[in-house]
Structure 1
Amino acid sequence: MMTWLLLGLGLVLLVAGADTLVKGAARLAGAFGIPSLVIGLTVVAFGTSAPELAVSVKAAYAGQAELAIANVVGSNIFNVLFILGVSAVIVPLVISKQLIRQDVPIMVAASFLCVWMVQDGQLSRFEAAVLFAGLISYTVFLFRQGKQQGADGGDDEVEALLKEPHPMWQNVLFVVGGLALLVLGARLLVDSAVALATAWGVNEAVIGLTIVAAGTSLPEVVTSIVATIRGERDIAVGNVVGSNIFNILCVLGLSGLVSPVPLLAGAQMAALDIPVMLAVALLCVPFFFAGAILNRIEGALFLAAYVAYTWYLVALTLKLDYLPQLQDYIVYGLIPVIGVYVVLSLLNDFRQRRKQVAS
């Protein structure tokens, strides 16, 4: 019970630390004359992934090299299947053209790169440096694109945050306090996850793919669902896609750079979990492209896929008797259903576009 309480406390501290750090850093940047657009593209946009960064860096530095990758892979799967699934079930999500043409392909490319790099079972420091260089290039690209958009590219939420009067010392205190909460929360969460894995006799990666991944994605859950309820349905999708890109390029990159040994991807993770992460990213392409809307049926399919993946992961870890039947259900049931739905959706979208051109 104490382990679960410490794990819960760690999650609370991570979420509170990320929020506090973002507010303090954004106001400090504004005080130094940095435009709200740049703040929105860097500090705020990446702030929701601060828990994943803190946990993976702590795990890597402490020698739990497999937990560092598992956290990122599990978070990316959770973000798409669970967060977008729940959000789309609440209200169908609008997919912007920029997401379809730019951000989703970048997410897929980053996922492909991750799969290619860890096919030997590890992520070396050089490969981590390549990922982190990709983050810098991506951020510079977003900044230049935002400047070209001009005033229309501004972030209303950031501007509202900067208008709140706060003295400099308070902003510095927010940054320092936010970092301290993140460090403490990450330590509690990683230590609790390792303790649970030891008590249950399972691999640390399994805890990282499930409990830790879902917990560190809480800021994305809150941001996306609140944006959906408010009617900002494109923000809900953009938040998830941007977070997934950041997780691969920054969280994995920085974790690999600080780790004293290469980050590990065990046989199961390399053969199952990382390919699932790539498959989930690829699934976004037809679902987002068809009609530029993620409807309730597609949201339900996302949720069903997440439940099936998590259930299979638990059954595989615990070696449950019905594992072969569950695998047959997924391979011969759920996956074909999703495949048929994708084909029908694309055909229907093609017919609609032909009608529009004809008219």
Structure 2
Amino acid sequence: MSLLWIVLGLVLLVVGGEFLVRSSVSLSLKFNISKLVIGMTVVSFATSAPELLVSLQAALDGSPDIALGNVIGSNIANIGLVLGITAIISPLTMSRDFYRLNWPMMMILSVALYFLLKSGQVLDFKEGLVLFISLIIFLIILIRQSKGTPVESIGEIVDDSLKKISNFKIIIWLLIGGAALYFGSSWLVFGAKEIALSYGVSERVISITMVAVGTSIPELAASVIAAIKQEKAISLGNLIGSNIFNISSVLGITAMIHPIALVNTKLLTNDIFWMIGFAAILIPFMLLPKRFEIGRLKGFFILAAYMVFIYLTISLD
């Protein structure tokens, strides 16, 4: 029964996220906001909604391990699982923005998260505010740098036909998306806690594996479909951007609403180093042949490393 709650929760999160993205973009287009701004703000926030709702629900329910594990696990899955599988299907090219802005920002936030957790064993309101402000600064710099340059992924998401959607339909979509995300996050957290109790594993293991992969399903599906179609709809920069949003907005907003305490120290002594390691390995990969490209061989290596991480996480709990 616990597994059923998790499956239903994941389905609702995917549905809710899709409705929220479409309604948010439609609303933004009606206010004549540029596609560039929509893609980098509205769409990014909307696609981070499942992770945000799950982490917030977990923190409010007294399960901070799920709140933290969801974000750390999702960041690992975005690179190890999503990037690994996508690169195996179709090579990914690294743009200049990757090593000039996106990668440094992801590394700064990842290391900062480690020290914030280590210093007080909790993420409180002030620390959450600092993380969220860092996101605002990052977006301002990103938008200024990107003006006048094409953004490949936005064209796929920001469809001009969404501008013609009626206000009534937008409201309905928002209500459906909000309700689906709310119940989906509640059921997913409930199911994860029940599985942890019934199988005698920690909430950390469930959150950093099953829950994290579940909330990364939309990114994985979009990446695989785009790779199969040989489209440029997904890029390394987008996955890095998702990791930046997970730390700065998901944990930032959650910590501002409810403090996130560090309960299971393995999140700090083990898991977060895997997250930093998966992020750091991308720079050597940028320099190795073929330079500025992650092809099938590198993809296999990244995916194999992720499988090792999952095995060690479960077996050494």
TM-score range, shorter chain: over 0.9
Unaligned ranges ≥5, structure 2? none
Q: Which residue of 2 aligns with 1:308?
A: 308
Unaligned ranges ≥5, structure 1? 318-359
Q: Which residue of 2 aligns with 1:103?
A: 102
Q: Which has the higher contact order (CA 8 A, sep 6+)?
A: 2
Residue 191 (1) aligns with residue 193 (2):
no
Partners of 2:281 and 2:97 lie apart in 1 by: 17
Q: Which residue of 2 aligns with 1:255?
A: 254
Q: Which residue of 1 aligns with 2:178?
A: 179
Cα contact 1:228–1:236 (8 A) shared by 2: no
CA distance change for structure 1 residues 3 and 105 in 2, over 3 Å: closer, same or farther? same
Residues 264-303 of structure 1 aligned to structure 2 (within 5 Å):
264-290=262-288, 291-303=291-303
Task: Give me the TM-score of the superposition, normalised by structure 1.
Answer: 0.83
Q: Which residue of 1 aligns with 2:127?
A: 127
Letter in 2 for 1:4: L
Letter in 1 for 2:210: I
Partners of 2:164 and 2:264 lie apart in 1 by: 50
Q: Which residue of 2 aligns with 1:16?
A: 15
CA distance change for structure 1 residues 305 and 90 in 2, over 3 Å: closer, same or farther? same
The answer to which of 291-300 and 101-110 deviates more is: 101-110
Partners of 2:117 and 2:161 lie apart in 1 by: 41
Residues 20-59 of structure 1 aligned to structure 2 (within 5 Å):
20-59=19-58
Considering only aligned residues, what root-mean-square deviation do their CA atoms show, in Å? 1.7
Task: Give me the TM-score of the superposition, normalised by structure 2.
Answer: 0.93
TM-fit CA distance, 1:227? 2.1
* Number of positions where the alignment pairs a residue of Structure 1 with one of Structure 2: 313
Q: Which residue of 2 aligns with 1:112?
A: 111
Partner SS for 1:99:
helix
Partners of 1:38 and 1:172 lie apart in 2 by: 22
Cα contact 2:88–2:297 (8 A) shared by 1: yes
Partners of 2:64 and 2:255 lie apart in 1 by: 9
TM-fit CA distance, 1:177? 1.3
Letter in 1 for 2:243: N
Partners of 1:270 and 1:161 lie apart in 2 by: 44
The answer to which of 206-215 and 193-202 deviates more is: 193-202
Q: Which residue of 2 aligns with 1:357?
A: none
Partners of 1:285 and 1:153 lie apart in 2 by: 22
TM-fit CA distance, 1:281? 0.8
Q: Which residue of 2 aligns with 1:349?
A: none
Residues 191-270 of structure 1 aligned to structure 2 (within 5 Å):
191-233=190-232, 235-259=234-258, 261-270=259-268
Q: Which residue of 2 aligns with 1:94?
A: 93
Letter in 2 for 1:136: I
Letter in 2 for 1:98: D
Cα contact 2:20–2:177 (8 A) shared by 1: yes
TM-fit CA distance, 1:76? 0.4
Partners of 1:81 and 1:206 lie apart in 2 by: 17
Sequence identity of aligned pairs in percent? 37
